[in-house]
Structure 1
Amino acid sequence: MREPTRRGRIVAALLAGLVLFGAGLASASWARAGTGQQDSAGRGTASMLDAVLRRGEVRVCSTGDYRPFTYLDPATGAWSGIDVDMARDMAGRLGVRLTLVRTTWGTLLTDLGRRCDLAMGGVSVTLERAAKAFFSDPYLTDGKTPITRCADADRFQTLEQIDRPGVRVVVNPGGTNEQFARQHLHQATIVAHPDNNTIFDEIIAGRADLMITDAAETRWQATRHPELCSVHPDQPFTFAEKAYLLPRDDVAFQQWVNQWLHLARNDGTYQRVSAPWLG
């Protein structure tokens, strides 16, 4: 076999170098793409987790209108709720300050990644949301069930009983409660009420007959309003889970949140935080 010429060896070395360089670029691009974060030119950047640590602040979007998970007192500006306390614990374990950002159910996905780093506050896992964002591991199993005046509880046990002419079902716009009502109710009257903090007063005052919402919320509101009863909260109409909402494709941030949540659910933190609200 003839020995390769000096020129041939140089060409071969250059080709090998180009192959390795291309492979390195592809590997780096793949690693960046997995973070889900982009700069102004659309190139992948580091995980939101890195940005949070660098900034020294984690920004959490929450609606502030969904007890027992999140509540913003309009008089004092104070936040409370299960997920508010969990957000404080998460920030403490990250070693950063917590900033709570008020959002709405209708703008939740738009605000995620722009005004805040993740969303917390009784967010239900849905396929629609999962197509646009990542979820953490679920921390609570829930489902839609009615809440009504106790005198009317026997009248609204089933969807067939609810979906009748003359029945008024109040909903908060933009979330899964409205979606459920509009999907399943075709004869009952759906009444939109924009303030989820006062929506149960509509039932008490007789301006609405019932609301269909998550069982955890019906239990909480029934303890606050003796006139209201949660209808079969242990056997809701649907199966649903609560989780935290994160930017899509940011695997590093999702894995950190999942690990923190796993520890919090097994070291007594979640039980301590949720017990005053859920018992």
Structure 2
Amino acid sequence: MFKNWRKVLLAGIISISLVGTGYVGHDLISTPNVSAESASKNAPGYQKNAAATQLDEIIERGYIRIGMTGDYKPFTYLNPKTNEYEGYDVDAAKELGKDLGVEVQFVSTTWPDMLKDLQADKFDIAVGGVTRNTARQKNAYVSQGYISFGKVPLIRAEDKDKYLTIEDINKPSVRIGVNPGGTNESFVRQYLSNANVTVVQNNLDIPGLVADGTYDVMITDTVEAMLYARKDERLYAALTDKPFTNSEKGYMIPRGDFIYASYLEMWMDEMKLQGKFDALYKKWIE
């Protein structure tokens, strides 16, 4: 018993001594508070000024600006007859506006300029067949995926047994038409450097140029390839069951806004749960 009391007394004397020197006040009291504050600031979702979110700005102004290229069926297409956008992601964007309680304003962009335009605050969100990848995620926030796809060759039906592998296409004799600035061109530059590649500014022109023999191959996504093959019997969407790549489409917003990103992810979850993405798939893709 005496030994135990002696230990308690000794501990008390040491504590008083440390307080007197200021050691406890600096290291044993202040440090845990600093660590807790630092940990909270580095925690996922921490935002220094919670009010500074683009979500509130969109709601307050009464409209959301939707950036899209208008050249990528079936996700986005600027119909020259009506001068209106139409497609899977056009309808999805209208759903987003309705759920936010705001109007939708479509803003024209291009694949080479999409990220720069988003960063320059020309629009609030980029949609229209935007591929999820780590390169984009370095400079923006790309949402969860809503549809899977892969890169495949769109070719003439008469050549359906001719271009079955990368090696079959990656030859100087093979003429490839590709749109600039997107993942189609990135794929071609990385894997088909030996082919005869021509950059075609308007993505909508390439399928017809393949069909009429100007080019042999268009590298594009499974969804777009199947769409054009259904519309033109001269065309064939090859390897759709075993594409060269596996990816997903998502929506892209400025990075660093946890509140805005959280709303977008929740909205997409609800679109899936309520079957609205399925309905869009049936309308525009099946």
Structure 1, residues 83-140: CA drift from partner, whole Å, max 9, x if none?
0000000100100000011100001111114110011101001211110000111111
Partner residue of 1:133? 140
Using a 3 Å threshold, how does the CA distance of structure 1 residues 77 and 27 change in structure 2: closer, same or farther? farther
Task: Specify which of 117, 124, 129 is matched with residue 111 of structure 1.
Answer: 117
Q: Are residues 1:150 and 2:161 paired?
A: no
| Cα deviations by residue, 1:207-263 (Å, 9 ceiling, x for unpaired) | 100111111111111111111110011210011111000111111111111111111
Q: Percent identity?
A: 36
Offset of residue 186 of structure 1: 2.4
Q: Is the 8 A contact 2:146 2:277 kept in 1?
A: no
Q: Structure 1 length as normaliser, TM-score?
A: 0.84
CA contact (8 A) 1:177 1:212 kept: yes
CA distance in 1, matches of 2:188, 2:258: 34
Work out whether 1:59 is the aligned partner of 2:65. yes
Q: Gaps (5+ residues) in structure 2?
A: 1-33
Pick from 243, 246, 249 the counterpart of residue 250 of structure 2: 243
Which SS does the other structure have where 2:129 is aligned?
coil
Counterpart in 1 of 2:238?
A: 231
Q: Of residues 213, 217, 220 in structure 1, which corresponds to 2:220?
A: 213
2:211 is the alignment partner of 1:200: no
Counterpart mapping for 1:1-279 below 5 A: 46-113=52-119, 114-279=121-286
Deviation at 1:75, TM superposition (A): 3.0
Q: Which has the larger radius of gyration?
A: 2
In terms of mean alpha carbon deviation, does 175-184 or 67-76 score higher? 67-76
Distance 1:276 1:46 in 2: 37
Structure 1: unaligned runs, 5 residues or longer:
1-21, 37-42
> Normalized against structure 2, the TM-score is what?
0.82
Contact 2:200 2:206 in 1 (8 A): yes
Render the CA deviation track for 1:150-198: whole Å, top value 9, x for unaligned.
Answer: 0011111100000112100110011110110011112210111100111
Q: How many Å separate the matches in 2 of 1:54 and 1:34? A: 23
**Once superposed, which parts of structure 1, at least 4 consecutive aligned residues long, lie more than 4 Å away?**
25-31, 33-36
Alpha carbons of structure 1 residues 94 and 27: separation in structure 2 relative to 1, 3 Å: farther
Contact persistence 2:149–2:223 (CA under 8 A): yes
